[in-house]
Amino acid sequence: MNLTDILDVAQIVPDLQSRGKHEVMEELCRPIIARRPDLRAEALLQVLIERERLGSTGIGDGIAIPHGKVPGLDQLLVSFGRSVQGVDFDSLDAKPAHLFFLVLAPEDSAGAHLKALARISRMLKSNTIREELMAAGDSQDIYEIFSRQEEEI
């Protein structure tokens, strides 16, 4: 699975305005709702909040990957956001998160869900990629970074 198969430019928020954990998740749900108006923001946010109660999805190095399984969803949905100022996301390293992937999966798709999380984690392990994403100008620039990474893997 390529990240660019499940993420397009419209799902990228290059300048998150939110300052809190729940607000970031809500802001990252907006491009998904725009694409899928049949979904309810409140329901998506509840799934994400419930997952966060199990443990923070702030994995450190300025990265957070809030995710969850949504009843009735028929495909994997992803959005990406960047916060230049950073957001306290209760990350494992206690540092603010700057790069966010929101991943929503169908209830019965453990394989696709785990593959997407692994792919994202592997890509963002690179200091160079994280620096490029932070320096990118807009959604198209960010998308091109992801696209280029897919070609190199």
Active-site residues, by number, are 67
With H, G, I as helix, E, B as strand and everything else as coil, classify residue 141: helix
The SS3 assignment for 91 reads coil
CA dihedral 11, 14, 18, 21 (to 10 degrees): 60
Q: Which residue has the tokens 């028929």?
A: 74
CB 61 within 8 A of CB 130: yes
Count Cβ atoms below 10 Å from residue 93 Cβ, excluding itself.
12
DSSP 20: S
Measure Cα distances from 95 to 41, 44, 89, 131 in Å. 28, 26, 8, 16
